[in-house]
Amino acid sequence: MSEEKKKHLGLGVMINALLGNDDSSKICSAAIGKIITELSIHENALWFTFSDGSKINFYDDGQSCCEHRYMHTDDDLKYYIGATLLGAAIKDGPTESDEWGDPKESEFLIIKTSEGEFTVVNYNEHNGYYGGFSICCKGDIK
């Protein structure tokens, strides 16, 4: 994370950074090697269902009061149905200004599969006082 972005972290992001989220790591790691049978973005989360019935989702848990957070991808998620999940990585994205001059931050969630990678962009639009991201993974792993 850039030094500029570190200066404007929101409370939700700071709490998650201080307390950590071991459950996210365990759930994501347990999903590695599973075959994807369903994949979608809805309710501001990236949802996976696997061939054994397990389900996980990635979402941004950094919400503070005056922000608008959402996810988007230009990739065709249907292409990755039947692929094996190999990993996930997070990469800082640029910060732009919205139409009122407020920050619009982005962070990339890169999902690695046996059919290649796809990228989901996480956005956080805020008034300049609440920033950062806290991408988490939750689910029911069998």
* Interval 48-70: pLDDT, tens: 999 999 999 999 887 777 778 89
Contact 104, 23 (CB under 8 A): no
What's the pLDDT at 19?
45
In angstroms, how far is CA 37 from the centroid of its own chain? 19
Rounded Cα distance, 103 and 106, in Å: 10
| Torsion over CA: 40, 31, 124, 67 (sign) | positive
Rounded Cα distance, 70 and 82, in Å: 26
Local confidence band at 10 (pLDDT 50, 70, 90 cut-offs)? very low
In angstroms, how far is CA 96 from the centroid of its own chain? 19
What's the pLDDT at 58?
93
Residue 43 class from Cβ within 10 Å (0-12 exposed, 13-18 middle, 19+ buried)? exposed
What's the pLDDT at 14?
46
What's the pLDDT at 63?
74
**Mean pLDDT for the stretch of residues 94-109:** 87
Most confident segment among 13-22, 87-96, 126-135 = 87-96
- Choice between 8 and 15, residue whose per-residue pLDDT is larger: 8
**Mean pLDDT for the stretch of residues 1-12:** 46
* Interval 71-100: pLDDT, tens: 999 999 999 999 999 999 989 899 888 788
